[in-house]
Amino acid sequence: MNNTLVKGLRLLAELARSRQPLGATELAHRLALGKSDTHRLAQTLVEQGYARQDAATGAYRASVRVWELGAAVLANLDLKQAAAGPMQALLAGTRETVHLSMLDGDDVVYLDKLDSPEPVRAYTQIGGRAPAHCVATGKALLAWQPPALLEALAARLAPHSPNTIVAPAAFLDEMTRIRTAGFATNRGEWRASVWGVAAPVHGPDGAVIAAVGVSGPAERLRGARLKALGADVVSAARAIEAALG
């Protein structure tokens, strides 16, 4: 048995199970490995795209590529299967484009989507990406990340529209507001004419694993409807969680 491969797989499994990024010292302690070996193995995973290293803290976390491998083996990810019914119900109830997203570094990746039947709608594609701090599903995913990760992200926010939140204090306040409300909103922060609402999806262990949301033209989502859609996406997220068991 290739001992290096075994160590690398153990390290990857530890990262995949962890709810927060892990530094080389903590990984070495958990796996009973030398710190230099741990660092070398972790860097190899980063180079191959299976892990990401936070530039500010140096800590490691598994990347969405781990999910991509699992999806290829299983053909259909349990999350997508669990979300199919609630997403259809959300589409029927709102008539807005529905997204299911996961976090990959500073971006969200769209795992699934259902297009609005309306002639004017939000356009995205499955497998596409967007800056997490600019879109509703991304903000719903970020809000439950560790404080250190949020503070590091707050220091490097880039504007993508006149409405993007880029001031660190304002961004951190927004994360607090999302945790309190239970859902996130995007008021034209990625594309000025597109608004969105999303809620986090928790896995069986309580960790936030995905987000489900709707997006559409600003004129259809403004005002009282935004709050009503917040309740809709929270209900959809709870239904997905129930399907996940």
pLDDT along the chain (245 residues), means of 10: 83 90 93 92 93 92 81 60 94 94 89 84 76 96 93 94 95 96 95 94 87 93 89 96 88
Q: Which contacts of 25-34 are long-range, i.e. CB under 8 A and separated by 24 or more positions?
A: 27/60, 31/7, 33/7
Q: pTM here?
A: 0.69
pLDDT at 206: 85
pLDDT at 161: 93
Domain covering 76-244 assigned CATH 3.30.450.40 in the classification: yes
Instruction: Give residue limits of the domains in the chain.
Output: 3-62, 76-244
Closest CA to 18 of 73, 61, 70, 67: 61
pLDDT at 75: 39
pLDDT at 215: 93
Closest CA to 198 of 148, 151, 130: 130
pLDDT at 71: 59
Q: What is the DSSP string of 180-212?
A: HHSSEEEESSSSTTEEEEEEEEE-TTS-EEEEE
Q: What is the DSSP string of the chain?
A: --HHHHHHHHHHHHHHH-SS-B-HHHHHHHHT--HHHHHHHHHHHHHTTSEEE-TTT--EEE-HHHHHHHHHHHSS-HHHHHHHHHHHHHHHHH-SEEEEEEEETTEEEEEEEE--SSSS-----TT-EEEGGGSHHHHHHHTTS-HHHHHHHHTT---SSTT----HHHHHHHHHHHHHHSSEEEESSSSTTEEEEEEEEE-TTS-EEEEEEEEEEHHHHSTHHHHHHHHHHHHHHHHHHHHH-
pLDDT at 127: 78
Longest CA span, the chain? 62
For 3-62, CATH gives 1.10.10.10
